Structure 1
Amino acid sequence: MLFSGQGSISLGKRDASGKPLGLRPVGDATLTIALATEVEEHTEKQTGQRLVNHRLSTKKTATTTIVADEWDIENLALALYGEVTRVTGGTVTAEALPNPVDAGLKYLLQHNNVSDVVITDSTTGTAKALPVSQYSVHGPGGSIVVQDKATGGPFVEPFLAAYAYGATDKVGMFTQPVPEVWLHFEGVNTADNNKPVIVDLYKVQIDPTRQLDLITDSYGTFELVGNALLDLLRPADDELGQFGSIAYPQITP
């Protein structure tokens, strides 16, 4: 039987007994599983040729590599050892910018996804507004560049920013412990009339992604590399073992 696979990959946390909880599809991706053993070889010492006469297996490993096409926030949380934080929208009335502000430099507000930005100074009594023609705003990034802080002045610093901000999903880096997930693949063999093939790895420890290509001339991908670990929550005499399994469902016409 020849094989050419297509299918969907899902990952999910495990409960206290090792059973999978809700599994989340990772979207378009490729999946490979590499099995390997490390061995110690013994050579005989009688013939003068030092021939190998025994091999002792010292370690068995199963490495999974998911190359993900879709940069959704949940995939990035796995890749970065982070947790998704969902910021709801709101308003800010008087956020102080650094004092002093240097013309031409970029300053970051506390929030992303900003709009309706108004900059005033700290004049006692009635504050002066910095003309909008003298500064620029990058709304998604939440950044401000003041090109001219002299015209219309003098202004009293620090400058104060008032603005609205919209909802934003964020994920921090290295804020969570090493993730251990159940990996489930529901695929078809396109070389054999799309017959189904199912793969389960019971306990996969995901490594942080090695690289995020943020400026590219083609579609960006990133890797979720993991190691299948021995699942001691499964009985040692389980007929499908304690690592994983591959299933060929027998579909009758």
Structure 2
Amino acid sequence: MSETVTESYIGSGIVYVNGRDVGNASGVKIDIEQETKEQPNYRGGGGNAAEITKVKSVKLSMTLNDFSNANLALGLRGKVEVLTAGAVTDEVITAILDGLADTAKMIDTTIPPVVTNAAGSTTYDVDVDYVVSAGGIRALSTGAITAAESLKVSYTSKAGNALQALVESGAEVKVIVDGVNDATGKPYTLKFYRWKPSPTSGLDLIGDDFGSFDIEGGVLADSSIVATGKSKFFVRSAA
């Protein structure tokens, strides 16, 4: 008598894109679109004499909860540039009273900037004439800076990275899910050989809850896999 084996499933795991851990991913989903061709039965009685179902496309989507520039580059077809810290001297900005005059680079706010008038003869006081943020200088209407005044600001730029959005045509990447079935404790892996993500449909950048964003793309056939019975799209291995 054969034994019936059941295995409940609650999936969790770490998602790697080209070997990079993308951080917390709250969802990974596969969608397979199929196309059926039918040959009607013309011999009486209706129905079909034959039919064939083909895979039209394979889609992989994931919900990412980590807003790193590397992750956003996947969803925005972007390029990530490394920013190095450095001294910026006498960058010219135009004052906007109680509004932000942005600087060319992010300001390291742990190092006080120096803000002067255009001639350099007057040095303004932080938190009296202006406040500073990573984005730039906000002149205070209660201070000595006048509206639309030309200012010079010297500051230290902050190290980090910058995302240049929508500058790439879309890269193909390898995706591996190194997972665990939480219902059984058994490990599994999912390996997608070629994934080409499309730009995300939108990003919620300000809100009162933890953010996430969705990325979807086509899983393409890997023509280098020619062995009989081996998938060109993806493989799932489980203990």
Shorter chain as normaliser: what TM range? 0.7 to 0.9
Superposed CA deviations along residues 62-108 of structure 1, whole A, max 9, x for unmatched, are 2111111122222122122122212111111211113xx44233210
Distance 1:3 1:149, change over 3 A: closer
Aligned residues, how many?
A: 229
2-side partners of 1:149 and 1:175: how far apart? 42
The percent identity for this pair of structures is: 24
Change in 2 beyond 3 A, CA 1:102/1:166: closer
Partners of 2:178 and 2:190 within 8 A in 1: yes
SS of the counterpart of 1:159? Answer: strand
Whether the 8 Å CA contact 1:97–1:107 is kept in 2: the answer is yes
- The 2-side partners of 1:229 and 1:197 are apart by 22
AA matched with 1:146: A
Question: Given the alignment of the two structures, is residue 244 of structure 1 paired with residue 234 of structure 2, yes or no?
Answer: yes
Q: Deviations over 1:7-33 (max 9, x none)?
A: 211111xxxxxxxxxx11212212111
**Is 1:175 aligned to 2:170, yes or no?**
no
State TM-score, norm by structure 1: 0.80
Q: 1:91 aligns with which of 74, 77, 87?
A: 87
Provide closer, same or farther for how the CA distance between residues 205 and 238 of structure 1 changes in structure 2, counting only shifts above 3 A: farther
SS of 2:75's equivalent in the other structure is: helix
TM-score by length of 2: 0.84
What does 1:56-205 correspond to in 2, within 5 Å? 56-57=52-53, 59-98=55-94, 101-115=95-109, 116-123=112-119, 127-132=121-126, 133-138=128-133, 140=134, 142-148=135-141, 151=144, 158-192=150-184, 194-205=185-196
Map Cα deviations across residues 163-196 of structure 1 (whole Å, 9 max, x no partner): 122212211101223121111112222333x122
C-alpha distance in structure 1 between counterparts of 2:145 and 2:206, whole Å: 39
- CA drift of 1:55 comes to 2.9
88 and 187 in structure 1: CA distance in 2 versus 1, 3 angstrom threshold: same
CA–CA separation in structure 1 for the residues paired with 2:54 and 2:79: 36
Equivalence for 2:20: 24
Q: CA RMSD in A?
A: 2.6
Return closer, same or farther for 1:171/1:151 CA change in 2, 3 Å cut-off. closer
Work out the CA distance in 2 between the residues paired with 1:156 and 1:110. Answer: 18
Shift of 1:152: 8.1
Retained in 2: the 8 A contact 1:37–1:61? Answer: yes
Structure 1 residue 42: Cα displacement: 3.7
Structure 2 stretches lacking a partner, 5+ long? 1-5
| 1:232 and 2:223 correspond | yes
**Cα deviations by residue, 1:150-172 (Å, 9 ceiling, x for unpaired):** 8488x995321111222122111
- SS of 1:97's equivalent in the other structure is strand
TM superposition shift of 1:131: 3.8
Report deviation, 1:231: 0.9
Q: What letter is aligned with 1:68?
A: L
The 3 A distance-change label for structure 1 pair 117 and 52 is same
The Cα of 1:243 is off from its aligned counterpart by 1.1
Gaps of 5+ in 1: 13-22
CA–CA separation in structure 1 for the residues paired with 2:161 and 2:141: 33
Q: Match of 2:3?
A: none
Specify the SS of the correspondent of 1:240: coil
Q: Is the 8 A contact 1:121 1:156 kept in 2?
A: no
1:10 match = 16
Distance 2:83 2:67 in 1: 19
Does the residue aligned with 2:113 lie in a helix, a strand or coil?
Answer: strand
Query: In the aligned structure 2, how far is the partner of 1:189 from the partner of 1:172?
Result: 37
Partner AA of 2:100 in structure 1: K
1:52 Cα deviation from its structure 2 partner: 3.9
The residue type paired with residue 6 of structure 1 is S
Structure 2: distance between partners of 1:84 and 1:223:
19
